[in-house]
Amino acid sequence: MTSYPARIKHAWLSIESLFRQEDRNFKLVLVLAENQFPNRRVPRSIGRLRNKGLEILWVSRDGGSFDHLWPVYEKYPESTIISVDDDKFFSPNLVGKLRAASLNFPSTIIGWRGWQMRTCDGELTFGRGWLRATKKTPSEHLFMPPGNGSLYPPGSLPLETGDYVVREKICPNADDVWYWALAHLGGTKSLCLGLPNHRSVWQQNGAPSLASIQPGPKEFQQVIDHFELRESVSKSLTEAAI
């Protein structure tokens, strides 16, 4: 999980819901950027959760929404990582269901919720005409934002393609688009559980989320062209629609 000053005050609510998971066999890591929290000062509501085992991972550069996952993925390359947002009360069976699915489908990215991608009028456009994904949605048609709870096995995203310079040039804000592309490049399969949305933390409603600044359509087009994914993805989606 990551957060930033406008949202950190109430992030403890989401964190607490994770400490109340039925499956507690995990380390909980909160990624914060040092330039946003002078002297590494955090609210007491966050500080006291360290007594429950919360680890704060301080990073020198603000990665925005990428801090949900990437700093932890780099620090713990041999670990399975679950990415979540800071504005949801997570279902108590979140970790258990993701872990159970991962045992049945090893080396697969498992998502709580996601989208089934579709072409619209023959064009591959971000979000246009997409449907909610189910367990039956083919891996190659899945797009799963990480914030609702997505499990990434070790090696599921190729580290060598996580180039900061390229990422900041073509996809500075849309981490979901970037991770989707990396999974395609690495040949990693994905599975969506197709479960209901988590209850929102209403106290976070007044603060802009990182997702609200994601210019998905533009960055999606730049990423699929940079990684040369347009032809293969469009072909797969077109054939599925026939």
CATH topology of domain 5-241: Spore Coat Polysaccharide Biosynthesis Protein SpsA; Chain A (3.90.550)
Judge contact between 121 and 210, C-beta under 8 A. no
Q: Using the 8-state DSSP alphabet, how is residue 10 labeled?
A: T
SS3 125: coil
Rounded Cα gap, residues 171 and 219, in angstroms? 5
pLDDT band at 204; cut points 50, 70, 90: confident
Neighbours of 57 (CB within 10 A): 14
**37-82 pLDDT tens trace:** 999 999 999 999 999 999 999 999 899 889 989 999 999 999 999 9
Entry pTM: 0.92
Which residue type, as a one-letter code, is found at position 63?
A: G
Q: Is 210 a residue whose pLDDT tops 60?
A: no
Q: How many helices (H) and strands (E) does the chain have?
A: 9, 11
SS3 82: strand
Q: What is the pLDDT of residue 121?
A: 82
Rounded Cα gap, residues 24 and 93, in angstroms? 10
Torsion angles phi and psi, residue 117, rounded to 5: -70, 150
For 143-203, give the DSSP string: E--GGGTEEE-TTSS-GGG--HHHHHHH-SS-HHHHHHHHHHHHT--EEE--PPPPEE-GG
Judge contact between 152 and 107, C-beta under 8 A. no
Q: Is 163 a residue whose pLDDT tops 80?
A: no
**78-114 pLDDT tens trace:** 999 999 999 999 999 999 999 999 999 999 999 999 9
pLDDT band at 153; cut points 50, 70, 90: very high
Rounded Cα gap, residues 179 and 53, in angstroms? 28
Q: What is the pLDDT of residue 179?
A: 94
Neighbours of 36 (CB within 10 A): 13
* Mean pLDDT confidence for 28-44: 96
pLDDT band at 162; cut points 50, 70, 90: low
Judge contact between 119 and 43, C-beta under 8 A. no
Which residue type, as a one-letter code, is found at position 67?
A: D
Judge contact between 153 and 80, C-beta under 8 A. yes
Q: Is 177 a residue whose pLDDT tops 70?
A: yes
Rounded Cα gap, residues 108 and 188, in angstroms? 6
- Which residue matches tokens 């930033």? 4
Judge contact between 80 and 154, C-beta under 8 A. yes
